Amino acid sequence: MFCVTGLSGPFGVSFKVTDDEFDEISTSADIIPAPYVARYKWVYVNAENRFSGDKWQHYIRQSYHLVKAKLPKKILSSLG
């Protein structure tokens, strides 16, 4: 899991950020530390227009790589 969002209802997305980005980004407008997973440096964005398309891509891709880097070697090798 590297990005979480709902399929209906109000917009919201949670994703992992770097340690350095967490303090800066989680105090920005429309962004809070993600409930239950903030201790792992996840944030929750509740406004779809908070970032440009390129910035959304950056954060989601970065989240994927941050989570992937923490996977056990056995799982990593099965991913290829």
Task: Read off the pLDDT of residues 13-66 as tens digits, 9 standing for 90 and up.
Answer: 999 999 999 999 998 999 999 999 999 999 999 988 899 999 999 999 999 999
Confidence of residue 8 (pLDDT cuts 50, 70, 90): confident
Asked whether the beta carbons of 55 and 25 are under 8 A apart, the reply is: no
Query: The whole model's pTM is what?
Result: 0.88
Confidence of residue 79 (pLDDT cuts 50, 70, 90): confident
**Residue 15: both structure tokens together:** 């994703």
**Residue 16: both structure tokens together:** 């992992």
- Report phi then psi at 14, rounded to 5: -115, 140
CA angle, corner 39, sides to 35 and 45, nearest 5?
A: 45
